Structure 1
Amino acid sequence: MRLQRVPARTGWLWVRQGLRTFARQPLAMAGLFFMFILLVSVLAMIPLLGAPLALALLPAATLGIMAATQQAERGRFPMPTVLASAFQAGRERARAMLLLGGLYAVGSLLVIALATLLAGGGAEGLTPGEDGRPRLDDPVLLRNLAWQAVLYLPLGLLFWHAPALVHWHGVHPVKALFFSFVACWANKAALAVFILGWAAVFFAVALLLVLLSSIVGGATLIQALMFPVASLLSAAFFTSLYYTFRDSFVHDDGTPVA
């Protein structure tokens, strides 16, 4: 297996491929995405250990969506069990995925803690609104979110391809993190186009909803449609992640790795 460099325009191709495959199996892909979100949300409600457990399962759940995309592209209907693909490839790879998940949870918690420190304090530094919740215009909250975005970027690059490398190719989790970062850096132009492409899709759909609501139903319609439409687009985004991996690595003979 070796790294494959792709041109920047491939990023937009990944967006189109994700949308196309999602359109082939919208019920299956949306259903799997909602199951993924529900599982993570339920785990996060468990006191103390819930949030770390939810974070630790994210790499395996993302791999499950990628495996479902692979099946959908091949004309098969992904069943709910595909979400557990990371733990169905043998004991050794299941342990490796759990280790990868643990590393992701630790990394995410470190990002949150460091962002809070750099932002100038924790929850006690936030200005509550009338409902007792932090105000969205609070400078501490805004600095915290900004630092999280900056610090999460290298973490995201480390884990972008790592679950697929561990699951499909048996790469050790630490090596998978290294290979993932190198592949993302080598194809940074394509990934930038990919992210910008998806941002454009979300913006275009949001603009369409605003225009539709101004013609048909006012603010009530957009409030009713925004969450389900955003959820479907998020499911399509996760569907497209498979293609970023498939085109970033090839076997030594040039054939796709997944």
Structure 2
Amino acid sequence: MLEPAHLDLWFYPALTLVAVLTGFIDAVAGGGGLVMMPVLLTTGLPPHVVLGTNKVQSMCGTAMATWRYHRAGLFSFRASAPTAAVVFLGAMAGSLAIQRLSADVLKLVVPVLLIAVALYTVLSPNMSDHDRHGHLSERGYVPVGAGVGFYDGFFGPGAGQFFATTLVGLRGLGLTRATGLTKYLNVTSNLASVIVFTIGGQAMWILGLCMGAGAMTGAWIGSHYATKFGAKVIRPLLVVVSIGLTVRLVWGWFST
């Protein structure tokens, strides 16, 4: 278990409080890494350790959100298990790849995809709570889920948005149902990444679990609001987070 002695103790409660906010954002629209990753990097931890530790806290938050959305009857564990299994394998492959390859190419491509997500969310009449005929079945969606899972393990920012918009656009799910299923797929991909980063000695579990407690608190609040108010809360936050992630990634081009 990796836990560098040089990390000041005050970081633990401070990052736990930040995780409450990121847990809320993740539970409603995804993209909590927009806040958490830059904050974690200020600790001076190596980038791969930041990635691994962030996955620990994210796994905790998405687990809480998944439980809340399932309790609300928004998705079935059994029906979505094949997709979740493929997402798990994709995320594991992505997490192995990021430890050996550079994510520079994705830094160029992802902002374009996130702008597309924001535009689709704003302009498409499908981004509501009404289910409709989908273009893909559960089985047909499996390759898409595997691709987003690989991306989540490899790079991560925007994975929740990509799951949600593809579930709406391709599977025909209403936005709140899509958000619930997104959390199930997210917790699956996070678990795969945590396993890989832990085996590689690149996850700080004590810090990650402290942050995880904050993320679970935020996720409980966020999932409560999302299930209560539905698309009228999820849709605008999805747009804001997608644009925020885009700005953050584009800013990174000029600051490095």
TM-score (norm 1): 0.27
Task: Provide the TM-score with structure 2 as the length reference.
Answer: 0.27
Higher relative contact order (CA 8 A, sep 6+): 2
